């Protein structure tokens, strides 16, 4: 089957140009000047008129947590519901996290995640590997990850007793990663110190969701980010810091990068648009002050008065932060977030955003925060390069997978939960209720198959394939 997308403006990370895109089967085979007869008369099986619209590579969300066990419950999106929601929002590839915890084997955790995802995904998917128990067995297992197409792994400086690694464990893992060419991903917060602050707040009766962010102060993120940078510098391991939210942590990353160190960082939409002040002010008849639990995530939301959100946008412009992922880890209010009533420490940490990342970042184009090409670079091209997918993903070019989004800059999207608003994630609320986007995802194509078109979902579980990733294509 062939598809011709005509009359649109193709946007890659290198810029925008009017072009027609020819797809044969699952692959892009040609970019043509509008109306070109270089290939003769093209009689495509399907013709999509993209006049007045952008034709962009499908989004690559490199940080999701489908079905993650956390805080006595599980993330509410399965691989089926979460990848369907991603497709609705123009994301055509995700990289999720297979989990190994204390007392478990890496191989068992990876096998469990393959079982969760296999045959259930609407879009293509890959895995990072969480190593939550650094010991002789997990260090040995790291040697097999590249063969499995997993070229990045994640450590936690937070969550003692669950995922936490101390400095000695981090050092050993980074030494092994440097030898193997693996990219170290780091949750950079000082977990033991955070636990002390959280205990002190609760003992003072300060139990509302707002105090989650107070306990996880920006100093805890800056200190851990610097410590991770120093350990990476010592071992020669490339470092990628996830969900950066504090401007002081960005300063640490910029300092290391200016010295030529292979250090990178991502941020997430919540750290660009949401704030600690808005979380404090959140009230509802159903939940009262506990309404703020909808925005409990880690790292936490930061103060707008202190300028963290503006600093995140600036860092995206200056490339001190290289990409935007979601850290999609959704929980319903009922029976999940409610576990933390009376003690913010028991609120499952996470926000659902996999459906809205492309739209939210496009609004940054509308408001002048980033350029059109930078939008594509942050949401598709750099994630593909960083995590060994570029060439097949992240670009509109001959030979690439036909992962394509037709985006209407003259359309409109009302984000939220309920009738007439966009929300296909398996959640009973939306952290993005009331957000309005001056643009709209019209058509979504994954490897040549139309998944979303004209407000209808045409995808199905099992279309998505496992992505065996290569080594990072973004290192110095």
Give me the pLDDT at residue 181, please: 95
Q: Using one digit for the tens of pLDDT, what is the confidence trace for 122-152?
A: 999 999 999 999 999 999 999 999 999 999 9
Note whether residue 467 is domain-resident.
Answer: no
- Look at residue 52 in the predicted model and tell me its pLDDT: 98
Q: What Cα–Cα distance (Å) separates residue 13 from each residue in 16, 230, 397, 448?
A: 8, 31, 12, 21
In a shared domain, residues 132 and 65 = yes
Sign of CA dihedral 119, 121, 125, 126: negative
Q: How confident is the model at residue 240 (pLDDT cuts 50, 70, 90)?
A: very high
Helix (H, G, I), strand (E, B) or coil at 232: helix
Is there a domain that residue 470 lies in? no
Q: Is residue 258 part of a domain?
A: yes
122 and 40: one domain?
no
pLDDT at 223: 98
Residue 417 lies in a domain: no
Selection from 171, 162, 172 nearest residue 137 by Cα: 172
The answer to whether 353 touches 299, Cβ cutoff 8 Å, is: no
Q: Are residues 71 and 176 in the same domain?
A: yes
Tell me which residue range forms the domain holding 9: 2-56+395-409+436-457
Full-model pTM: 0.97
Check whether residue 206 and residue 251 sit in a common domain.
Answer: yes
Give the CATH number of the domain where residue 21 resides.
2.30.40.10
pLDDT above 80 for 184: yes
Model confidence pLDDT, tens digit, residues 355-406:
999 999 999 999 999 999 999 999 999 999 999 999 999 999 999 999 999 9
Look at residue 37 in the predicted model and tell me its pLDDT: 81
């Amino acid at each position: 089957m062939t598809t011709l997308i005509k009359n649109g403006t193709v946007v890659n990370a290198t810029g925008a140009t009017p072009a027609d895109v020819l797809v044969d089967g699952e692959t892009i085979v040609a970019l043509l000047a509008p109306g070109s007869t270089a290939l003769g008369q093209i009689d495509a099986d399907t013709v999509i008129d993209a006049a007045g619209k952008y034709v962009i590579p499908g989004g690559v969300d490199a940080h999701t947590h489908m079905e993650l066990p956390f805080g006595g419950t599980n993330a509410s999106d399965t691989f089926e519901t979460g990848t369907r929601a991603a497709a609705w929002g123009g994301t055509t590839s995700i990289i999720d996290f297979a989990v190994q915890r204390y007392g478990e084997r890496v191989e068992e955790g990876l096998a469990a995640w393959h079982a969760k995802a296999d045959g259930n995904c609407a879009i293509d998917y890959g895995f990072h590997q969480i190593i939550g128990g650094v010991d002789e067995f997990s260090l040995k297992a790291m040697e097999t990850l590249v063969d499995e197409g997993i070229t990045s792994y994640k450590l936690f400086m937070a969550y003692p007793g669950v995922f936490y690694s101390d400095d000695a464990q981090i050092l050993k893992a980074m030494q092994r990663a440097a030898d193997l060419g693996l990219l170290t991903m780091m949750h950079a917060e000082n977990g033991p110190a955070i636990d002390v602050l959280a205990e002190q707040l609760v003992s003072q009766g300060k139990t509302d969701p707002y105090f989650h962010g107070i306990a996880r102060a920006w100093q805890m993120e800056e200190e851990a980010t610097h410590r991770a940078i120093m350990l990476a510098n010592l071992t020669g391991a490339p470092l990628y810091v996830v969900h950066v939210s504090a401007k002081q942590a960005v300063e640490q990353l910029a300092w290391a990068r200016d010295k030529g160190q292979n250090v990178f960082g991502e941020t997430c939409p919540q750290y660009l648009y949401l704030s600690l002040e808005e979380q404090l002010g959140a009230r509802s008849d159903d939940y009262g002050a506990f309404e703020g639990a909808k925005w409990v995530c880690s790292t936490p939301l930061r103060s707008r008065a202190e300028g963290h959100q503006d600093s995140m946008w600036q860092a995206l412009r200056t490339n001190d932060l290289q990409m935007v992922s979601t850290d999609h880890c959704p929980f319903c209010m009922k029976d999940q977030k409610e576990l933390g009533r009376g003690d913010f420490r028991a609120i499952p940490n996470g926000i659902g955003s996999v459906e809205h990342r492309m739209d939210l970042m496009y609004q940054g184009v509308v408001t002048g925060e980033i350029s059109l090409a930078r939008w594509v670079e942050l949401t598709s091209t750099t994630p593909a390069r960083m995590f060994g997918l570029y060439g097949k993903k992240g670009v509109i070019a001959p030979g690439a997978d036909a992962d394509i989004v037709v985006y209407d800059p003259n359309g409109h999207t009302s984000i939220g939960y309920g009738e007439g608003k966009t929300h296909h994630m398996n959640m009973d609320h939306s952290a993005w209720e009331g957000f309005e986007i001056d643009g709209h995802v019209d058509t979504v194509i994954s490897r040549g198959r139309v998944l979303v078109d004209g407000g209808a979902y045409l995808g199905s579980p099992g279309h998505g394939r496992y992505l065996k990733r290569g080594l990072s294509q973004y290192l110095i």
